[in-house]
Structure 1
Amino acid sequence: MGDPGMSALMAFLGGTVLAALLFVPYIAWSYRKRGQLGLGHAALAFGLLVYALALWTYTLLPVPDTTADWCTRNAVREPQLSPLRFIADFREEQIGTGLGAVLRNPALLQVVFNVALFVPMGMFGRHMFGRGLPTVIVAGALTSLFIEFTQLTAVWGLFACPYRLFDVDDLLANTAGAALGFGLAPLLRLLPGQRVSAAPGDPRPVTTARRLLGMAVDVVSVTVFSALLSVGANVVWIVLLGAQEGPRHLDWLFGYALPVGLLILLVPLLGNGATFGQRVVLINPVGPDGGKPGLVRMLVRFAAGSGGFFTLNALELGALASLLMLVSAVLAWRPRDHRGLSGLVAGLRVVDTRAAERAVSLGGEDRSPAPEEPHEPRPPGRARSVLPAPRGRDVQRDLDRRG
């Protein structure tokens, strides 16, 4: 089985790397499917990644050096196909009497471990994916069967001989663990930060955390896109063209101009005015008239916001870039409308994208009078009070008051 502590560490580190790669897609999915980002749900999603990798590390690692000599001496024996064979193994390996001796029995520990390994699958399957007990049991059984066949076939022929045992008792224990996890799934509801405050399509207040998250998404997205472009360019130059090194004279193009120009400047100009990060968290800037900002305001916003930050970094003025980021973060907290430095300089407000879309929808709908509902007769001589329906652009103002 290997060192359990090392397997857990590898699963955690691998899950952290995957979480970093899936950071932006998860946030985009969460805002569109759940309407907001909840820290509790994000923690469970991270736990799911770590658990998926733990299945790999605990069942397949470490991989020995399966040379011909090693296989001759250590190759795993024939698969164990007798159900409940662990009972006989328990009797054979029992040393001493008493509860302590029973709990130290290797055969019992193996069964308990195999049950516990699949408990999270049942919990995640019910709580996060909404699956019923039959589906969870089948999923656990099929996953365990895939793992056992992977062990039986020496990772599908990648190694010279099998180095783990195919054991039907493992299959039974894993499936039982998934069923047990289904029953324990309600415990996950105790983790705070999972509930949503409204339907996914309903606007939410623009908060400090949401503004900072949009900025973080911009920084991460530009950095990742820049790295991908640089790696691609080096592959073309070195691997395909046989050059000694990559195109250093084009670093500014792949490291700054293309990613920043596309995600921070072009996306807002061609869209609703929001940068890529703002689009991910469903916020966008609006001008004094409540509509999409004009070109001049957009360019000013670019220079005073993320565009200015990346430009200063490209000019190797890291201290000024850090100062700009700090001021932007503070002004995203105060004033209360969270417009940030770029919004203050360019004269823009920041609104929930769903509120802006709702305003457009309400502004363009058929305004012909609707049939009156039945009402009680009013006293003679009193004029009926007719209150105008709230205008769509007031939606975000109401949200700001609540935020």
Structure 2
Amino acid sequence: MFKFYLYPISYAFLTFPVAAMLFTLPFLIVQYRRHGYINKLRAWLLYLFLLYVMNALYLVILPLPPTRHNAPPHFDSYMQWIPFHFIQDMIRETRIVSDEPSTYWRLFQDRAFWQVALNVVLVIPFGMFMRYYFRTRWLTCLTASFSLSLFFEITQVTALYGFFDYPYRLFDVDDLIMNTLGGMAGFVLAAWISAILPRIDQLDHNVDLSTKRVSYTRRAIALILDWMLLFPLLIGAVMLHVPATYFVLTALYFIVLPYFMNGMTPGKLVVRIRISGQEGRVKLLELFIRNGLLYLGLGGLHIVFLITSIENLTITMPLILTLFLLDTWFAIHLMIRLFNHNKQLFYEQASGTRHTIS
């Protein structure tokens, strides 16, 4: 009986690292934007919730039929609409005699009993998360648990929304009842957990964002978001034959725009960080030195090299060697700074600027 459930659970754990990697970027963006920093307990709970959702979903849909063109199921109807029909199944299969307590142990050997019990257990963690992490009321938890169970049942009875020719599991109203009951049981159990763990709505109390360091991960996310916005603009400008496209747009985006946005670019705005100068608000000259060295200097040399290599098939060896040495130095410089958070990057030292949380 239980071997049937080991396959989907093991598959959920095996695929969790991939899902976690896909989940990480939006998770970090939302956490930085909403809270201004990453709380370890909050992060641990959300990744645990992701793992739970994967286990629950895999338990509902796995194992899959061997082919999309599966055979029709061996049951007469795709729907079971009689509430508490499982009681009749248990009485019939276990042959329990009501006035003979010695026969009650047969219940724990019955497939129908364990199916009902596992349907309750399946949604208990969901109810616990709803109360403890999402801080919902009982009516919201009841509605959410029922909706989750309904999603499971519809997914099954529609054969993964038409992916397979025939449903390979039926829609059972008893599953709706037991799943919803499990969600409410989890809601009740969460009261005990809430007494042990810190309150989610108080995790950010007494947190001074001004004392927290802006991590390189946070800066990298802002950089990725900025280039996701800037790169299409560069492509469009190149197609319109704008002179010195890279240098013009990069200077406007990383120097002029942050000056008017108080040290922020759109990417930095999303993750709530800004560039601060020696006297607080960053000055235009400080931005020119900082981002000019990085994007116009270091980045500009690579753009010149790229344009030269396209227009002239022969590239001078001194230029190749210069870029190789420059990239090697910057990679080593960056690695040293990654392991020594107190030291600034060269363009930060030259401009006297730093990142702060907004």
TM-score, reference length from structure 1:
0.63
Counterpart among 335, 347, 355 of residue 326 in structure 1: 335
Q: Does 1:139 align with 2:112?
A: no
SS at match of 1:120: helix
Structure 2 unmatched runs, 5+:
97-101, 236-243, 304-322
Are 2:287 and 1:298 equivalent residues in the alignment?
yes
Residues 143-169 of structure 1: per-residue CA shift (max 9 Å, x gap): 212321332233344432111121122
1:279 matches 2:269:
yes
Deviations 1:236-268 (A, max 9, x none): xxxxxxxxxxxxxxxxx9xx9999878755653
Is 2:31 aligned against 1:27?
yes
Residue 258 of structure 2 corresponds to: 268
CA–CA separation in structure 2 for the residues paired with 1:91 and 1:324: 73
Residues 287 and 14 of structure 1: CA distance in aligned 2, closer, same or farther (over 3 Å): closer
- Give the whole-Å Cα distance in 2 for the aligned partners of 1:149 and 1:104: 29
1:288 is aligned to 278
Q: AA paired with 1:16?
A: A
Structure 2 residue 149 is matched with structure 1 residue 170? no
State the alpha-carbon separation in 2 of the partners of residues 258 and 44 from structure 1.
Answer: 45
User: Displacement of 1:132 after TM fit?
Assistant: 0.8
> Partner residue of 2:311?
none
Conserved? CA contact 2:226–2:267, under 8 Å: no
Q: 2:210 aligns to what SS in structure 1?
A: coil
Paired residue secondary structure (1:286): strand
Equivalents in 2 of 1:193, 1:323: separation in Å?
Answer: 43
Name the structure 2 match of 1:383.
none
The answer on 1:196 being equivalent to 2:203 is yes
SS for the counterpart of 2:283 is: coil
Shift of 1:211: 3.3
Cα distance change, pair 66–42 in 1 and its aligned pair in 2 (3 A): same
Three-state SS of the structure 2 residue aligned to 1:71 is coil
Deviation at 1:275, TM superposition (A): 5.0
Change (3 A) 1:215 1:351: closer
Q: Distance between the aligned counterparts of 1:67 and 1:106, measured in 2? A: 28
Paired residue secondary structure (2:170)? coil
CA distance in 2, matches of 1:198, 1:30: 14
- Figure out how many residues of one structure are paired with residues of the other and give that number: 319
Q: Give deviations 1:207-230, integer Å, cap 9, x for gaps.
A: 33x33343232455468x39x96x
Deviates more, 1:103-112 or 1:127-136: 103-112
Instruction: Give the whole-Å Cα distance in 2 for the aligned partners of 1:90 and 1:259.
Output: 72
Q: Which has the higher helix share?
A: 2
Q: Is the contact made by 1:137 and 1:175 (CA closer than 8 Å) also made in structure 2?
A: yes
- Against the structure 1 CA distance between its residues 313 and 81, is the aligned structure 2 distance closer, same or farther, given a 3 Å change threshold? farther
Q: Where do residues 86-125 of structure 1 align in structure 2 (5 Å cutoff)?
A: 86-94=86-94, 102-125=107-130
- Do 1:39 and 1:193's aligned partners in 2 also have CA atoms closer than 8 Å? no
> Residues 38 and 312 of structure 1: is their aligned pair in 2 closer, same or farther, counting only changes over 3 Å?
farther
TM-aligned CA distance change 1:310 to 1:188, over 3 Å: farther
**Structure 1, 275-284 or 321-330: larger mean CA deviation:** 275-284
The two structures have a TM-score, normalised by structure 2, of 0.70
1:240 is matched with which residue?
none
Q: Distance in 2 between matches of 1:205 and 1:7?
A: 43
* Other structure's SS at 1:332 match: coil
Shift of 1:292: 2.3
CA distance in structure 1 between the partners assigned to 2:49 and 2:21 by the alignment: 13
Asked if the contact 2:61–2:156 (Cα under 8 Å) also holds between the matched residues in 1, the reply is yes
Distance 1:308 1:182 in 2: 58
**For the Cα contact (< 8 Å) 2:127–2:186, is it kept in 1?**
yes
Give the structure 2 partner of residue 344 of structure 1: 349
Which whole-Å CA distance do the structure 2 matches of 1:14 and 1:131 have between them?
30
Q: Distance in 2 between matches of 1:305 and 1:190?
A: 49
Partners of 1:262 and 1:89 in 2: how far apart? 72
2:342 aligned partner, one-letter code:
W
CA RMSD of aligned residues (A): 4.4
The corresponding residue for 2:80 is: 80
Letter in 2 for 1:5: I
Q: CA deviation at 1:180?
A: 0.9
Which consecutive unaligned segments of at least 5 residues does structure 1 have?
234-252, 354-403
